[in-house]
Amino acid sequence: MLRTPTGGAGHGTAPAGDPLVSIGAVLARLRDEFPEVTISKIRFLEAEGLVEPRRTPSGYRKFSPEDVERLAQVLRIQRDHYLPLKVIREHLDALGRGERVPLPSAQRERLEGAWEAGPEEAPTAARIGREELLAAAEVAESRLDEWESYGLITPMPDGGYDAESVIVAKLVADLGKFGLEPRHLRVMKSAAEREAGLVEQVVAPLRRHRNPQTRAHAEATAKELAGLSVRLHAALLRTALGVHQH
């Protein structure tokens, strides 16, 4: 359940007497609930107009309790619903004005429900739009265009994206923070395609079988082989780098 902002101060301001804290203190408070949050993420949300901290004369950010709560609300909605930041901002602004507005449809619940429903329903139901993918990956549209030009992400014929595209987008964005550009990641895509070819060799005869149960077994086999391939790839990579999993 989302909590509505307290008081009438609005985001980015604080009533007299309320303590203002640094961005580092905000990070420490949020990390209990959101372990993956970073200072860069908080700055990104500020740049997108989701929060407006005060500035000291020397330019340091100072956040009020309302700012911290608003950031927590934004992170919860992103985590649970995959809504575009513009929609999140409008929703929280409306709550701040005292308006009773329902939260837009929960995209993540639709995605998870679709994949739990089974392989026959998932490809159709587990789709998100371009704005939702941009919000989930927290990138500009130009970045997504670049990823698509390198074949890292491929939209469906109707312009939507499947659930795996969200995972790929987030991983590509995270790798980009270390200086890895899309052109560097083509080798990973090529390796994945070769592994997919090996899996397909095993399951193709099962897919062509007349028995529906055998065809269903092909999907389960493909998933199991994919999981084993990912584990093997990770183990081989750790071995090549000389690092060990603890």
Asked if the model's pLDDT at residue 118 lies above 70, the reply is: no
Q: What is the mean pLDDT of residues 17-34?
A: 88
Q: What is the mean pLDDT of residues 150-160?
A: 88
Asked if the model's pLDDT at residue 104 lies above 80, the reply is: no
- Which pLDDT does position 108 carry in this prediction? 46
- Which pLDDT does position 29 carry in this prediction? 93
Q: Where in the chain is the domain with CATH 1.10.1660.10?
A: 23-96
Phi, psi of 150 (to 5 degrees): -95, 0
pLDDT bin (cut points 50, 70, 90) of residue 13 is: very low
| Lowest-pLDDT range of 108-122, 199-213, 218-232 | 108-122
Mean pLDDT of the chain: 79
pLDDT bin (cut points 50, 70, 90) of residue 18 is: low
Report DSSP state, residue 82.
-
Asked if the model's pLDDT at residue 124 lies above 60, the reply is: no
Alpha helices (runs of H) in the chain, residue ranges in sequence order:
23-30, 39-47, 65-81, 85-96, 107-117, 122-125, 130-137, 141-149, 163-176, 182-207, 212-241
- Which pLDDT does position 227 carry in this prediction? 86
Report DSSP state, residue 50.
S
pLDDT bin (cut points 50, 70, 90) of residue 89 is: confident
CA 16 to chain centre: 37
Residues above pLDDT 70, as percent of the chain: 82
The predicted-structure confidence for 40-76, as pLDDT tens digits, reads as follows: 889 888 888 899 999 998 889 999 999 999 999 999 8
pTM given for the model = 0.50
CA dihedral 216, 217, 219, 223 (to 10 degrees): 150
Q: Does domain 106-180 have CATH number 1.10.1660?
A: yes
Residues above pLDDT 90, as percent of the chain: 17
pLDDT bin (cut points 50, 70, 90) of residue 113 is: very low
- Which pLDDT does position 77 carry in this prediction? 86
Asked if the model's pLDDT at residue 245 lies above 70, the reply is: no
| Lowest-pLDDT range of 115-129, 190-204, 228-242 | 115-129
Name residue, tokens 């985590």. 79
Q: What is the mean pLDDT of residues 100-109?
A: 61
- Which pLDDT does position 20 carry in this prediction? 92
Encode 163-193: b = buried (16+ Cβ within 10 Å), e = exposed. Answer: bebbebbbebbeebeeeeebeebeeeeeeee
Please name the fold of domain 23-96: Multidrug-efflux Transporter Regulator; Chain: A; Domain 2 (1.10.1660)
Encode 122-141: b = buried (16+ Cβ within 10 Å), e = exposed. Answer: beeebbbbeebbbbbbbbee
